Structure 1
Amino acid sequence: MSASLLSLKGVHTHIGAYHILHGVDLEVPQGQLTMLLGRNGAGKTTTLRTIMRLWQASQGQVLFNGQSMARLGTPDIAQLGIAYVPENMGIFADLTVRENLLLAARKARSVDELDTQRLEWLFGLFPALKKFWLYPAGKLSGGQKQMLAISRAMIEPRRLLLIDEPSKGLAPAIVRNLIEALNELKRSETTVLLVEQNFAVAKALGDRVAVMDDGRVVHAGAMAELAEDEGLQQKLLGLSLGAHQ
């Protein structure tokens, strides 16, 4: 297995009076796509938000490239080359597709300063972005908004992408397009930590997998091994991938 770009060691997170993460241990190998699976309420989104320090760990370590991020704020973490695509997508509905992407490109002050080659690469992954370039983002379909949210995270090269349930609520045809785009992203050797409830998506994309339950990682290994073991799927997730093809 590749060296870990991101490591969580014994991470606990409290939100108010609630103890959500109970000692999370997680390794995200560099250049691979790691799936973070688990039942609703297992702590997956809290894990992503804790990594970005949107919520602060009360105990444990979050290490990026071997260095602690404990003293960093969320903007500092973004400066390290880490991008976060939340479940609610976080796009600016009143701004155009172009304006949303420009805001995410920290090194560009105008559209003319955007990396043309990278922009064309994104258009190749998500052709709808080019079609609706001057369209208000709030008027896009759910699938198009998700494509925009992911593209904002990818408008500049990132070392690590954290993506929360990108296929949620999307039509099957759009999900297939999303899988193709994320596979292309994998070929660029970008490291990805992906929370997902669609197990067909997990099987198609994952190199590694970590399964959470009750605020802990209860299983970690190769995604292919979990995909082939219906008994383990039933034990960890309460259902089998085979039933969700």
Structure 2
Amino acid sequence: MSNKLLELSGVHTHIGAYHILHGVDLSVPRGQLTMLLGRNGAGKTTTLRTIMGLWKASQGTVRFDGHDITAANTPDIAARQVAYVPENMGIFSDLSVKENMLLAARQAKRLNQIDSTRLQWIFSLFPAVEKFWNHPAGKLSGGQKQMLAVSRAMVEPRQLLIVDEPSKGLAPSMINNMIEAFAQLKATGTTILLVEQNINFAKRLGDHVAVMDNGQVVHAGSMQALAQDEALQQQLLGLAI
């Protein structure tokens, strides 16, 4: 079994007339948390959407768990136990929190078929999900919606969890809850690919890091090494972390 659960090789993506990804090479080690960093507009979200088949690679290969998924449709990729939390969260506003969670549980048709132990674990990480269980999801605050979005991705065991900026717009106390959730997920052996602008978030969680610029990965290595090298941080990100 390869140590690489997910691997992108020479991936190009066009959106209409725009050439966004210019040969992305990215490896996501199995059972680790990989941070995907870069300035705004570097191509991070496009990379995630290409992995999920929402946008199709025009060149190159995306392999997951040894299988070529470059041309696969999004539902087929999700069926391989891949969960994706987009930057806009993708909440169904007119449905209750409970109904949002049930929709995300692919193996459950009724609420009592969801693993109750796992559900209680999610409630312990995100008490607001339990508190507003029967409320319309659209009535939640932005931070509560973000917690619901991550909770949906966690409701069943996943091989790979892909999350786009989970701390965006969260209060510091909520960010700590989110960090704890991902730390516990990582401890279960779940592989995680995370786009994040909060550098403290990245430093506390990341095992590996890939930095993007202008539609390419320009640096890959350990998160700890990047966190300790201020000159490299300035070179890659234009800031010191």
TM-score by length of 1: 0.96
Aligned to 1:115: 115
Measure, in 2, the Cα distance between the counterparts of 1:214 and 1:26: 15
Offset of 1:172 from its aligned partner? 1.2
Deviation larger for 51-60 or 132-141: 132-141
The residue type paired with residue 68 of structure 2 is: S
Name the residue aligned to 1:233. 233
SS at match of 1:193: strand
SS of the residue corresponding to residue 109 of structure 1 reads coil
> Which structure 2 residues correspond to residues 160-179 of structure 1 after superposition, within 5 A?
160-179=160-179
Which residue is equivalent to 2:4? 4
CA RMSD in angstroms comes to: 0.9
More displaced 10-residue stretch of structure 1: 50-59 or 122-131: 122-131
Matched with 1:64 is: 64
- Deviation track 1:38-64 (CA, whole Å, cap 9, x = no partner) reads 000000000000000100000000000
Shift of the alpha carbon at 1:15? 0.4
1:94-133 alignment to 2 at 5 Å? 94-133=94-133
Deviates more, 1:18-27 or 1:68-77: 68-77
- Please give the alpha-carbon distance, in whole angstroms, between the structure 2 residues aligned to 1:202 and 1:231: 18
Q: Which runs of 5+ in 2 are unaligned?
A: none
TM-score of the pair, normalised by structure 2:
0.98
The aligned residue for residue 55 of structure 2 is 55
How far is the alpha carbon of 1:70 from its aligned partner? 2.5
The CA distance in 1 between the partners of 2:22 and 2:9, in whole Å, is 11
CA distance in 2, matches of 1:138, 1:86: 16
Gaps of 5+ in 1: none
| Secondary structure of 1:197 counterpart | coil
1:142: how far off? 1.4
C-alpha distance in 2, partners of 1:31/1:57?
Answer: 25
1:30 aligns with 2:30: yes
Q: Does 1:41 align with 2:41?
A: yes
Whole-angstrom CA distance in 1 between matches of 2:225 and 2:31: 19
Equivalence for 1:188: 188
* Partner Cα distance (2:211, 2:113) in 1: 41
Matched to 2:218, the amino acid is V
Q: Is the 8 A contact 2:56 2:71 kept in 1?
A: no
Q: Displacement, 1:128? A: 1.2
SS of residue matched to 1:145? helix
Letter in 2 for 1:196: E
Distance in structure 1 (CA, Å) of the matches to 2:66 and 2:174: 37
Aligned partners of 2:35 and 2:209 also within 8 Å: yes
Q: For 1:65 and 1:175, how far apart are their aligned partners in 2? A: 31
Partner Cα separation in structure 2 for residue 200 and residue 192 of structure 1 = 17
CA distance in 2 between counterparts of 1:22 and 1:222 reads 23
**SS in structure 2 at match of 1:128:** helix
Runs (4+) off by over 3 Å: none
- What is aligned with 2:223? 223
What is the letter of the counterpart of residue 125 of structure 1?
A: L
